[in-house]
């Protein structure tokens, strides 16, 4: 079956000013990502995983080269267009969950739908569905401080998935979780990847995450060290 | 905007005590500013009413030589009632007063006074002139509370009154204090003694002569008359307006301090929020908010304090303000020594303009104060904000 390329990175560089010199975080990257991938950007700290994820998420721009995400050239988007891309097509999962602490689980998951101006009734239905995917339907009125780390990350997954985005970017999603919770989260994301054909790109160096990936891109000092496709039955 | 309002409401209610402390401080500013402004308006209103009732009526005609600030003009400032005003006099729309310098001798001391001849039958001024209509062995006289206090005179006392008549001859007689009135207008009390107009005209050898004419309030059609200066009510109360304006300017400093305190709390909360909620700001941006929208959200959040404060003020402030308007505010010190028209108890007067103006001023100021620190968000790098790395 032919798969559609949704991300294309060509000869991309990212440099950060460091005093009077520059630090090169990404160097001459050339990568393509197809729809439905469950891919990991793997590497030690400082290898450029998060920088690449931020650029793909239109939170940052490349210094040189091209990063095309869902047909949009990231470097050429203005702030409003970048926000629209994130709002409509991207989901984010963060290491420390980044939930809105004073909002309930329902309100946290509802947030992306509010931005999309989805009518209240439909919104409610979609939030409930997302919370069912992650098994938190009974925590609808709880607030993040009342939840465990694993539950918080499941809420974050529900928030990322509720609008059924084409692409989910997850930055070290299991870093603050124990093994059991990590596996639970990863299985949930894998199921959503298979059922909704959502592309997942992880930035990780966690072996548990790596074992679930069907494509592993190893980064070292801002360059692609190895890019391998794996087939396994999880 | 609707989303910003919804989120701001959730964020504020979620923040709990911090929000309510700010709202309480702000609501206190609302109530105090409205109350103080109300007191000033009430004082202005009361002073003008008292002056109208006790001293100036609906305006006055002054003899052209009369100068209230120069007692030496009194001797020459008198004339007969102008013919143009005779009908008004018959209709009871005006009353005449004759003024002259004099002295009283309470307990052997000499006190300079202004002797005022007042028609016992007049009903234009609130002065108890009917007490001058009593027949007694001595000339009846009335004085005010302040004058009584300084001269140690009381009703029923006799005191020697000395004057100088039209021919320059000194004369004196005992007068009987028939009443001591209580007025908030020092100009009708301090250093003043009232005796019947006809008596004063007789002893001064100035039959039918008067120094000034007081017009009944709410009458109009008064024109300039040769030999007399027309003073409208507005002109005569101008000093009060100026005095209230001066006092109001002083109070503006207090409003400013109150507002500053409230705004400091809001500003502090906003600055703290922006530093403590960096990850949240980054999350908003990652989820699809533009940075400008996040600035808007924080501004709405800050401004919403003012809206909540207005509601809280309505809850406890309205009953308080209503009670004050009814019961008044009694000054802790004796106001008779203040030298200006001020009642011992002031009744605040609130207008819709005052309430709306205060609410708008505080809300707009809060919005500005909320916006200023929120602008920093626009300069944030979202990737740094997400990691909470900003200093």
Report the gap between the CA of B256 and the closest CA in chain A (Å). Answer: 34
Q: Do B283 and A100 touch (CB under 8 A)?
A: yes
pLDDT score at A52: 95
Q: What is the distance between the alpha carbons of residues B114 and B100, in angstroms, rounded to a whole number? A: 6
What value does the mean pLDDT take over residues A5-30?
93
CA separation for the pair B12, B18 (Å, rounded): 9
Composition of chain B by helix, strand, coil, percent to 5: 55, 20, 25
What does the pLDDT look like over A138-173, one tens digit per residue?
Answer: 999 999 999 998 899 999 999 998 999 999 999 988
Query: Residue A94: its chain B contacts at CB < 8 A?
Result: 283, 286, 386
The runs of H, that is alpha helices, within chain B are 2-15, 17-51, 86-90, 145-151, 197-203, 233-236, 238-276, 278-286, 291-312, 318-327, 352-378, 382-387
Check residues B251 and B183 and name the one with the higher pLDDT: B183
* Residues of A whose CB is below 8 A from B386: 59, 94, 98
Closest Cβ opposite residue B290 in set A54, A80, A117: A80
Write down the mean pLDDT value for chain A: 91
For chain A, domains (ranges, CATH) are: 5-229 (3.40.50.300)
Cβ contact B122:B129 at 8 Å: yes
Query: Which residues from B are below 8 Å from A143, CB to CB?
Result: 14
Handedness of CA A90, A96, A101, A104 (dihedral sign): positive
Helices A120-133 and A105-115, axial angle in degrees (round to 10) = 130
User: pTM for the complete prediction?
Assistant: 0.70
Chain B: closest CA distance from residue A1 (Å): 32
Rounded to whole angstroms, what are the CA distances from B237 to B160, B191, B240, B241, B243? Answer: 34, 21, 5, 7, 10
Q: How many residues does chain B have?
A: 391
Q: Three-class SS of residue A203? A: strand
Q: Distance (Å, rounded) from C-alpha B234 to C-alpha B114?
A: 25
Distance (Å) from the alpha carbon of B295 to chain A's nearest alpha carbon: 14
B positions 10-49 inside 8 Å of A (CB): 10-11, 13-15
| Cα–Cα separations (whole angstroms), residue B36 to B226, B252, B326 | 45, 10, 15
Q: Most B CBs within 10 Å: which of A97, A99, A115, as the mutation test of the B interface?
A: A115
Label the pairing between strands A64-69 and B212-215.
Answer: unpaired
Cβ(B29)–Cβ(B261) below 8 Å: yes
Which ipTM value was assigned to this complex? 0.90
Mark yes or no for CB contact A114/B3 under 8 Å.
Answer: yes
**A81 vs B: CB within 8 A:** no
**Contact at CB, A98 and B386, closer than 8 angstroms:** yes
Domain ranges in chain B are: 2-53+239-387, 59-216
Question: Which strand (E) or helix (H) includes residue A80?
Answer: helix A79-89
Cβ within 8 Å, pair B383-A103: no
Neighbour order of strands in the sheet with A72-73: A21-34, A5-18, A64-69, A72-73
User: Which residue of chain A has the CA closest to B294?
Assistant: A83
CA–CA gap between residue A190 and residue A234 (Å, rounded): 9
Q: What is the pLDDT of residues B51-92, one digit of tens each?
A: 889 999 999 999 999 998 888 888 889 999 999 999 999 999
* DSSP-derived 3-state class of residue A16: strand
């Amino acid at each position: 079956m032919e798969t559609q390329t949704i991300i294309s990175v060509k000869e991309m560089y990212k440099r950060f000013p460091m005093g009077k010199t520059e630090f090169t975080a990404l160097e001459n990257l050339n990568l393509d990502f197809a729809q439905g991938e469950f891919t990991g950007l793997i590497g030690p700290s400082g290898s450029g995983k998060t920088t690449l994820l931020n650029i793909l998420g239109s939170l940052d721009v490349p210094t040189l080269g091209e990063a095309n995400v869902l047909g949009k050239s990231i470097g050429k988007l203005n702030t409003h267009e970048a926000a629209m891309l994130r709002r409509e097509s991207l989901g984010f999962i963060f290491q420390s969950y980044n939930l809105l602490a004073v909002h309930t689980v329902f309100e946290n998951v509802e947030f992306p739908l509010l931005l999309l101006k989805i009518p209240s009734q439909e919104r409610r239905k979609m939030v409930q569905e997302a919370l069912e995917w992650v098994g938190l339907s009974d925590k609808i009125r709880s607030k993040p401080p009342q939840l465990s780390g694993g539950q918080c990350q499941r809420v974050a997954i529900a928030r990322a998935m509720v609008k059924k985005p084409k692409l989910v970017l997850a930055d070290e999603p299991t870093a603050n979780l124990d093994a059991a919770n990590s596996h639970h989260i990863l299985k949930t994301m894998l199921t959503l990847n298979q059922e909704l054909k959502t592309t997942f790109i992880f930035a990780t160096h966690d072996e548990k995450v790596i074992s679930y990936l069907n494509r592993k891109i190893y980064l070292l000092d801002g360059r692609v060290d190895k890019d391998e496709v794996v087939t396994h039955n999880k | 905007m609707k989303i910003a309002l919804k989120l701001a409401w959730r964020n504020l209610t979620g923040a709990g005590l911090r929000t309510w402390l700010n709202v309480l401080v702000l609501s206190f500013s609302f109530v105090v500013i409205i109350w103080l402004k109300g007191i000033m308006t009430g004082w202005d209103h009361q002073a003008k009413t008292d002056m109208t009732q006790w001293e100036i009526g609906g305006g006055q005609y002054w003899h052209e030589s009369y100068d209230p600030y120069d007692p030496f003009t009194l001797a020459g400032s008198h004339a007969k009632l102008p013919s143009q005003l005779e009908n008004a006099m018959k209709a009871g729309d005006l009353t005449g007063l004759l003024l002259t310098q004099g002295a009283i001798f309470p307990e052997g001391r000499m006190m300079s006074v202004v002797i005022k001849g007042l028609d016992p039958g007049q009903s234009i001024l609130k002065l108890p002139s009917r007490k001058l209509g009593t027949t007694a062995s001595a000339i009846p006289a009335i004085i005010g509370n302040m004058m009584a206090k300084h001269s140690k005179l009381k009703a029923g006392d006799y005191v020697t009154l000395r004057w100088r008549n039209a021919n320059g001859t000194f004369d004196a007689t005992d007068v009987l204090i028939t009443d001591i009135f209580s007025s908030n207008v020092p100009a009708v009390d301090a250093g003043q003694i009232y005796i019947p107009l006809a008596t004063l005209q007789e002893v001064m050898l100035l039959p039918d002569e008067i120094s000034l004419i007081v017009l009944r309030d709410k009458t109009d059609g008064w024109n300039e008359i040769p030999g007399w200066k027309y003073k409208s009510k507005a002109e005569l109360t101008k000093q009060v307006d100026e005095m209230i304006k001066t006092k109001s300017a002083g109070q503006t400093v207090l409003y400013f301090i109150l507002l500053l305190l409230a705004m400091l709390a809001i500003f502090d909360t906003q600055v703290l929020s922006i530093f403590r909620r960096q990850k949240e700001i980054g999350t908003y941006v990652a989820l699809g908010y533009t940075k400008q929208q996040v600035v808007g959200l924080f501004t709405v959040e800050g401004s919403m304090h003012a809206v909540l404060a207005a509601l809280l003020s309505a809850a406890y402030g309205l009953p308080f303000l209503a009670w004050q308007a009814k019961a008044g505010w009694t000054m802790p010190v004796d106001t008779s020594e203040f030298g200006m028209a001020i009642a011992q108890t002031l009744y605040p007067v609130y207008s819709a303009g005052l309430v709306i103006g205060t609410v708008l001023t505080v809300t707009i100021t809060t919005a500005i104060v909320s916006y200023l620190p929120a602008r920093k968000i626009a300069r944030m790098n979202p990737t740094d904000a997400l990691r909470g790395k900003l200093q």
